[in-house]
């Protein structure tokens, strides 16, 4: 994951979030391509 600070609002929704929103989107796109 990158060094971007995870938004506090995002942490409220997903306290265990490992990725900032940008990296999460990239990771999800990568998963879609694997299938």
Higher-confidence residue of 6 and 21: namely 21
Distance CA 34, CA 13 (A): 27
Where along the chain do its domains lie? 1-35
pLDDT band at 31 (very low <50, low <70, confident <90, very high): confident
Residue 8 has pLDDT above 70, yes or no: yes
Task: Quickly tell me which residue has 């409220």 as its tokens.
Answer: 12
pLDDT given for residue 30 in this prediction: 85
Q: What is the pLDDT of residues 12-29, one digit of tens each?
A: 777 666 667 778 888 888
How many residues does this entry show for the chain?
Answer: 35
């Amino acid at each position: 994951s990158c060094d971007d600070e995870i938004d506090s609002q995002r942490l409220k929704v997903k306290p265990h979030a490992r990725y900032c929103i940008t990296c999460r989107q990239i990771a999800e796109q990568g998963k879609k391509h694997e299938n």
